[in-house]
């Protein structure tokens, strides 16, 4: 969790499982693309840094954040992945739209995690301002895409630990 005392992209590299031989999907929203593009770059580069081959990273775009969970479902069912990362950015506006989209994506990701034996990693920024989003997409709070990639590798390792 990002706080004034912790950067999202701070981690001990020796504690991160190796991604060699793993296949990971990333579903990224086109909406707020200046932010989501940075999140995607962070996630992709971190996965490669920890051994995932570029050809084993399946990237799909969807129009908006609400569509992230359907994109993740398709990748789970059709692409033979070990985990899926969803990346999006919803910025608070003047209407309740923000709340509905954030709740829908959150519940959708939870439902996918319960339905499939594949970790679905939540990389949705839910900020009040564009400045807050920038701070979490490569700014002073690091890059949530990095954090999502690290989380994917850790959850794949946990999943494999308990497979029979």
Query: Any idea which residues carry the catalytic annotation?
Result: 97
Can you tell me which residue has the tokens 């895409």?
145
Rg (CA), the chain: 15
How far apart are alpha carbons 24 and 67 in whole angstroms? 18
| Alpha-carbon gap, residue 163 to 110, rounded angstroms | 20
For 163, counting Cβ atoms within 10 Å of its Cβ (0-12 exposed, 13-18 middle, 19+ buried), the class is exposed
- Backbone phi and psi for residue 85, each to the nearest 5 degrees, phi listed first: -110, 130
- Residue 111, C-beta contacts closer than 8 angstroms, at least 6 positions apart: 69
Helix (H, G, I), strand (E, B) or coil at 79: coil
Contact by Cβ (8 Å): 145, 9: no
């Amino acid at each position: 969790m990002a706080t004034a005392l912790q950067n999202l992209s701070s981690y001990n590299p020796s504690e991160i499982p190796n991604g060699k031989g793993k296949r990971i999907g990333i579903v990224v929203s086109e909406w707020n693309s200046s932010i989501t593009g940075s999140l995607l770059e962070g996630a992709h580069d971190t996965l490669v840094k920890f051994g995932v081959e570029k050809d084993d990273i399946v990237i799909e775009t969807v129009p908006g954040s609400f569509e992230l969970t359907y994109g993740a479902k398709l990748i789970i069912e059709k692409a033979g992945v070990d985990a899926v990362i969803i990346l999006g950015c919803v910025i608070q506006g003047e209407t309740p739209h923000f709340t509905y989209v954030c709740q829908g994506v959150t519940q959708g990701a939870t439902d996918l995690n319960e339905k499939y034996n594949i970790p679905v990693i939540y990389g949705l920024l839910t900020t009040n301002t564009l400045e807050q989003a920038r701070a979490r997409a490569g700014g002073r709070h690091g890059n949530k895409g990095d954090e999502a990639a690290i989380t994917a590798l850790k959850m794949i390792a946990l999943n494999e630990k308990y497979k029979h």
